[in-house]
Structure 1
Amino acid sequence: MDIPHTEDLEKQQPTMITNSGFLDQLENECEALAHYAFSKGITVPGNLMRLLNSGLSEEQDVRAHQVTDIYNQLSELVAPAKPQTILLMYDENKKAPPFLFLGSVPLIRRMMAVALVSLFSLIGLSLSGAVNNENMVASMFDLQGTDLLFVQAILLAASAIGASFAGLFKANSFVTQGVYDPKHESSYWVRFVVGLISGITLTQLIPINLDAVAQSTTDMIAVDTNSEANHAAIRITTALLGGFSANLVYNLLDRIVETLKSFITPKKVQNPAVLRQQLENQYRKEKLQFVTQLSQELLLIKQELASDDEMCKDKMQKRLTQYLDILVNGEKNIPAKK
């Protein structure tokens, strides 16, 4: 019998260690899935837990088959929750970071921190004397120095509150359902930055009639307030809405671009060949409808002749006259029966 060389054993050993480590990882995921199922009140078969606790084989192949079978059954039990999300929350609970109460996944905690910083920044900036009704209503091109800096900062803070609120609401719904995917974390931060841009764009670069908005708001809430104060509040609220719904600003800008494009771009002239084909198709369609109508009328006359062998000459003449009207006018005009 051939004795394997030392080099061959060294090549085989990393593979065995890797397989063993992967099985250990699967066992850890099975433990997380079982913990999640029990916490949600899902019935877990006792044989699965008994096998997972102390019934796994020492042989790699048999153990791999057992762990895979347990993993698949537990995944079906916790569906539609994803095992990746469950494992992430399970590991976070085991690590017990200091700010775990803010969220069970890192994204929620980071975005919660950004939202709190934005909220405190909004409150702190509002204490400055530079943030007043006159400066808030003024355009960014009418201000300068620290006044402009404080106004833009408070609008940016309002936009950040709206953007973080939208991101938190969306991410929390996925985490609650157990379908949150960590690989999409960057997309939430992209939406957050886009929300900041949208808030500033909507409040500073897109002209909005604050008088009309303030009047409609006052009429809606039926409160007699200072119009200038309404303008400042509307400016802050607009920044918050711009951060919350970046799609709103995108659609608004896209509509403006399409409108300008319609004035600049000349109207396309339809291809004569395509127009001719459309007219021919329309003619064939109308011709088919007309022939079908004539065929139906002839069939009715034939049925009347078959059912009434003694049809008088006047009645026959009347039916032929009606048929002639269809040929000439293209419309059926039959008097109502008495």
Structure 2
Amino acid sequence: MMAFAFRKGLQVPESTVMMLYQLDLTDKDATGARDLARVHNRLAELVSPAKPETIWLMAEESHKGSWLLFLGRVKLIRKMMLVAISSLVALIALSLSSYINNENMVASMFDMEGTRLLYVQAILLAAAAIGASFSALFKANSYVTAGCFDPKYESSYWVRFVVGLIAGIILTQLIPIDLKAVADATAAQHRGTEISQAALRITMALVGGFSANLVYKILDRVVETIQSFIAPPATPAPDNSTQSLALQVRLQELEQLTSVSLGILAIQQKLTSDPDITPEQIHLMLSELTDTVTLSRHAQS
């Protein structure tokens, strides 16, 4: 990490350099372990976002002195570069064959057989491999450049590559696309330009290899469309307006009953506290209670 920081022109504190110089790796006591941890933490923070493992990996590959080192100091990059170059050479070589023509490239794989089918599928696989390797290289190179490439994700790039090959074949052979309509629409936008349907199919294979996620979304949309015809329609949610209205009426009745009860209780207390109350006064209180109930009903209606 110290050499990496110096090569990158980073400012390394003198205390860290001196601590590393004075560090005795053979010292097994607590002091040596503490100093080693301090140096490591300071250098890891200094070279961030680069990871110590990536720096060590590239240093080890540089020391091996492989003749393929010019393709990159990460083994995955070198392998993927070889795959991309091989795919490009295969695409050019296969295009020289007489089997690769507009008629064969437009035809479906179910309408061909033998050598003709083999050549067509091979060139489509080569185009898909170019797209898949280009996508993987572009993504991996961004991590390598930043110094944060993690070797544990190496298998995911190969999975992405294989999925790209499958997506290229699916997009060009298994999904029905009217290439003639696409070519005519493209030619209409660029007047006087003739669009080759064979080139469109190869381009579709390359796009499928580059973006397998696109093919996944297309298939997922097809599944959703078919499912909408097969699955029973969802039952509508019950209408809560009737229940809400009934609850509101019930609450109003409860309020009305409470009001009447309080009125009767007030009359009862009046009779208890005043034994000399006259019938006219009792009649007046009952009339007031009746009027209150009547007004409450009118307000609710």
Partner residue of 1:276? 240
Cα deviation, 1:6-65, whole Å, max 9, x if unaligned, reads xxxxxxxxxxxxxxxxxxxxxxxxxxx111111111100122222323443753122211
TM-score normalised by length of structure 1 = 0.69
Whole-angstrom CA distance in 2 between matches of 1:180 and 1:261: 41
What secondary structure does 1:134 align onto? helix
Are 2:140 and 1:180 equivalent residues in the alignment?
no
Report what 2:165 is aligned to: 196
In the alignment, what sits opposite 1:65? 34
Pair 1:220–1:82, CA change in 2 (3 A): farther
Unpaired segments ≥5 residues, structure 2: 249-298
Instruction: State the aligned residue count.
Output: 247
C-alpha displacement at 1:153, in angstroms? Answer: 0.3
- The change in CA–CA distance for 1:148 and 1:42 in structure 2 (over 3 A counts) is same
1:134 corresponds to which of 60, 81, 103: 103
AA of the residue aligned to 2:220: D
2 CA distance for matches of 1:46 and 1:97?
35
1:110 matched residue in structure 2: 79
Report the alpha carbon displacement of residue 91 of structure 1 after superposing the two structures with TM: 1.1
RMSD value, Cα: 2.1
Q: How far did residue 187 of structure 1 move? A: 0.6
- Conserved 8 A contact 2:23-2:36: no
Counterpart of 1:247 in structure 2 is 213
Letter in structure 2 aligned against 1:237: T
Q: Secondary structure at the match of 2:109?
A: coil
Counterpart of 1:60 in 2: which secondary structure?
A: coil
Q: Which residue of 2 aligns with 1:18?
A: none
Q: Which amino acid aligns with 2:219?
A: L
Aligned to 1:146: 115
Higher relative contact order (CA 8 A, sep 6+): 2
Judge conservation of contact 2:54–2:149 (CA < 8 Å) in 1.
Answer: yes
Q: CA deviation at 1:140?
A: 0.5
Normalised to the residue count of structure 2, the TM-score between the two structures is: 0.77
Matched residue, 1:40: 8
Structure 1 stretches lacking a partner, 5+ long: 1-32, 285-327, 329-338
TM-superposed deviation, 1:280:
3.5
For 2:5, the aligned partner's letter is A
Pairing 1:14-33 to 2, within 5 Å after superposition: 33=1
Query: How many percent identity over aligned positions?
Result: 57
What CA distance in whole angstroms lies between the structure 2 residues aligned with 1:222 and 1:67?
70
Which structure has the greater CA radius of gyration? 2
Cα–Cα, structure 1 residues 46 and 194, in superposed 2: closer, same or farther, change >3 Å? same
Contact 1:115–1:161, Cα closer than 8 Å, also in 2: yes
* Corresponding residue number in structure 1 for 2:24: 56
Matched letter for residue 39 of structure 1 = R
What is the CA–CA distance in structure 1 between the aligned matches of 2:94 and 2:8, rounded to whole Å? 44
Answer yes or no: is the 8 Å Cα contact 2:23–2:32 preserved in 1.
no
2:197 match: 231
CA contact (8 A) 1:140 1:148 kept: yes
Mapped to 2, the partners of 1:181 and 1:214 lie a distance apart of 43
